[in-house]
Amino acid sequence: MSNNNGYFSTTIPPSTAKATTPGAHDADVPVAQPTSLKRVVSGAALKELLASGSSSQTKTPSKVDNMFQNYSHSEIARDTATIKNSVIMHLTATFLRTPTSMDSGHAYLASAFSVRDRLLQRWNLTNEFHDRMKAKRVYYMSLEFLIGRTFDNALLALDLRKEYGQTLGEVGFRLEDIIDEERDAALGNGGLGRLAACYVDSMACSDYPGWGYGLRYKYGMFQQQILNGYQVEVPDCWLDSPNPWEFPRPDVTYPVKFYGHLVRDPNNDDRYIWESNVVYDAMAFDVPVPGYGTTNVGNIRLWSCKTNSLFDLNKFNSGDYGGATGGQVAAQILTDVLYPNDNTNDGKELRLRQEYLFCSATMQDIIARFKKTGRPMSELPELAAIQLNDTHPTLGVPELMRILLDEEEMSWDDAWEVTTRTFAFTNHTILPEAMEKWPVPMLDKILPRHMGIIYKINLYFLQAVEKRFPGDRDLLRRISIIEESNPQQVRMAFLACVGSHKVNGVAAIHSDIIKQTIFKDFVRIQGEDKFINKTNGVSPRRWMNECNPDMSDLITDVVGDRSWVNDLAKVKKLEERVADEDFRRRWWDAKQKNKQRLAEYILTTTGIQVNPNALFDVQVKRIHEYKRQLMNILSVIYRYHCLKQMTPEVRAKELHRVVIFAGKAASGYWVAKQVIKLINAVAEVVNADEEIGDVLKVVFIPDYSVTAAEYIIPASDISQHISTAGTEASGTSNMKFVLNGGIILGTVDGANIEIGEEIGEEQIFFFGCLAHEVEDFRHYLRFNQPKPDDALQTAFDMIQRNTFGDGAIFQPLIDSVVRGGDVYLLSVDFPSYIQAHNAVEDAYRNREEWITKSILSVARMSKFSSDRSIQEYAEEVWNIEPVRVTSCSMGI
């Protein structure tokens, strides 16, 4: 089979696969061996390289060489006439419309496909170059990628926004309206997925050869609707319309087995033959990730089940229509929904099979690409670095072992060395209940070979530990990958830890806590050097340049050009303008424009009219008890009570405030859903109270997404990051808000601490207990039920007096604080939380002080660029260097 100019690895269909390596017929293509990957190849040198191969070899150019040599490297012209012709061509030839019948939806699709043509050209050339340079790649495995919308991001990366705006304007459309036609890709849910998207963006922009790997969800997690104040989940049918930003790869398909039994190889004790009658094909869909300021383009490869071969025509013809399609349905549901509800045994099994499909297809693809180099399998870590983004991809460890043992016939010791040198693991949680575990009977039934490998990994690990610490059986119990419970459980975080050469947390405090708690024994056994910190970051392209154009233009004026987008340290120059009256006025005006834009968005999405001159107080993130949206809404109730006690004259002098919530609760998370109901119940009462008017408004924006965040984040005055100290690993929304000139109200937790260190604690409003105090408070509250302070009790009383509807509905929320041990310490932190709110209002009333805080905050935030994070990973974890192809070197 063709392998597409050596770019995409290709699998042989299962019926003919045998021992043939996908793409192996290209292994003898002449390839230059670079003395250093960190270089830019000149145009003349590259053309010679691609045409003739390594200077140390003389070979007859292959057909692939000739094809590539004749390939045009000239970029498509950038003038508006060419753009218009391209858009019309796609309109007529791709979508069978005429210019006279074009609506905004088709204008978007035609324009997007036109942009895609340009992106695809760079994409192919980038990957062809990386293949031929045999560059080491990083493979970032994440169960979710919250990439948001692509069209505007691609226009900015290609520096074509002005040209496309002009072209569309000539045919009667506003570019902003066309951008709004795109739906968010439903491939992620929260911070984990958004971090993965930022990291792939940074790899592309920083010229690191790297791909993301994930799953292509047909319906996402869910679309959140609010009915009678409650969250209702409905399918997010984001793929109903054509998706210009993905490329189906039917030629890149791998078989994935489930269930069955094992047959030992009589000639090799380490090798088994896995015989299974349940085999699904995982098919690749590629999503290009444009680099800003570079011609390099990254990639996210997503897997979906290919179901055509599972249709049983004989059953169909016999009238058994359900049986004929049963295999198709069983396969398809694996990639239908992100995080299927696992409150049932069937849900757990579905989730496990979903994760394995992802891991198996990814490992097979990485191995197939590596084999094209012709190098021995023992050298895999020299060309591949695999990063596990949390525990969801951990099955990749036993899957790689399976491939090396059973298919490559390596010895156990050699396979284990390759595996541990290849994998690295990012831990994203502190909460023990969030640690992923799988029941041993379930894993043994679905993945019998992997359960055997995990047993053996655990056995050898415990044996090695016992030699060093003889007689310490409690230590062995604590560190065992297999938890001795009923039933036994596989601790995936421990498996990822044992199977990786580096383990990192995502903020300084988080990394310290996991070394002192969940991985304390592993640090003692495996050494301090293995456990490191890599503070998260966010992409300045998406979270400044794209979502906040007016502020970005101001920064560009100060820096002198837009190079700061890829070098955030340059925003430090803003400090030089902090006393410039004209600059300060323009800064304030940019913020007010963003607030007006958000006010219009709120009106459109919720029907609630808010005053853009009010203080915008925002908490947007996944709804969870430890993130304490409950504490926020209880403070709103108390504020409402205080306002109601005032005379109209006094109330009129109060600072106006709009409190904005957004976020999804997991479908099986009842408590979080009750919090959403309470927020909406309070909003309904407060917003209808004519006495209160604009002094206080409460808004819950449904179906929080990247696009919604792009409206909300630039408009915030204050953003709340109020997790119980020691429970938030890092957070990244806090970084986004501050990068857009917002001020944080938060606990001393996660990345809040490092943000405060960078921007100065006078630019942030801290409150609440500290992480080292939490366990003492929890211990006290387990055995005592202190009366809440007056403010918190007032909020409880208003709920119980049915001020916001039937108070009995919300009694369990109150009980969790006053009778349930108050695990997340709402009652402990509430008094200082109210004081912090008062301090915020005092500061906001002083406009000049607030502007100073805002400017200085942005100026000092360069540490929190995802480019910095990726550079640290590249140097300290992955051992890779940038490999850049410039426009000149490709003849563009």
The residues carrying an active-site annotation are 428, 621-622, 627, 732, 736
Burial class for 815, CB neighbours closer than 10 Å (0-12, 13-18, 19+): exposed
Distance CA 254, CA 485 (A): 35
Going by C-beta distance under 8 Å and a sequence separation of 6 or more, which residues neighbour residue 830?
A: 631, 634, 635, 788, 789, 791, 792
- 710: which DSSP letter? H
CB contact at 8 A, 421 and 501? yes
The H or E element containing residue 282 is: strand 278-290
CB contact at 8 A, 357 and 333? no
Going by C-beta distance under 8 Å and a sequence separation of 6 or more, which residues neighbour residue 156?
A: 292, 541, 545, 546
- Count of CB atoms situated within 10 Å of the CB of 210: 28
CA 11 from centre of chain? 28
The pair of three-digit structure tokens given for residue 489, joined into one six-digit string: 């459980």
Q: What share of the chain is helix, strand, coil (3-state, %, to 5)?
A: 55, 15, 35
Place of tokens 């297999």: 482
Distance CA 64, CA 3 (A): 10
Distance CA 825, CA 725 (A): 9
CB contact at 8 A, 536 and 453? no
The H or E element containing residue 522 is: helix 520-526
- Count of CB atoms situated within 10 Å of the CB of 435: 16
Return the ∠ at Cα 280 (arms to 276 and 285), rounded to 5°.
150
Distance CA 431, CA 827 (A): 20
CB contact at 8 A, 396 and 365? no
Distance CA 62, CA 44 (A): 20
* Local structure of 583: helix, strand or coil: helix
* Local structure of 403: helix, strand or coil: helix
CB contact at 8 A, 856 and 760? yes
- The region that residue 693 occupies, defined by phi over 0 for left and psi between -120 and 50 for alpha, beta otherwise, is left
Distance CA 185, CA 380 (A): 33
Count of residues for the chain? 892
Supply φ then ψ for residue 474, to 5 degrees: -65, -35
CB contact at 8 A, 662 and 229? no
Distance CA 134, CA 39 (A): 14
CA-to-CA separations, 877 to 269, 280, 387, in angstroms, rounded = 33, 34, 9
CA-to-CA separations, 464 to 398, 480, 616, in angstroms, rounded = 19, 12, 57
Supply φ then ψ for residue 388, to 5 degrees: -90, 110
Q: How many helices (H) and strands (E) does the chain have?
A: 35, 22
Return the ∠ at Cα 625 (arms to 622 and 627), rounded to 5°.
55
CA dihedral 587, 535, 884, 5 (to 10 degrees): -120
Burial class for 888, CB neighbours closer than 10 Å (0-12, 13-18, 19+): middle
* Crossing angle (nearest 10°) for helices 448-468 and 412-422: 90
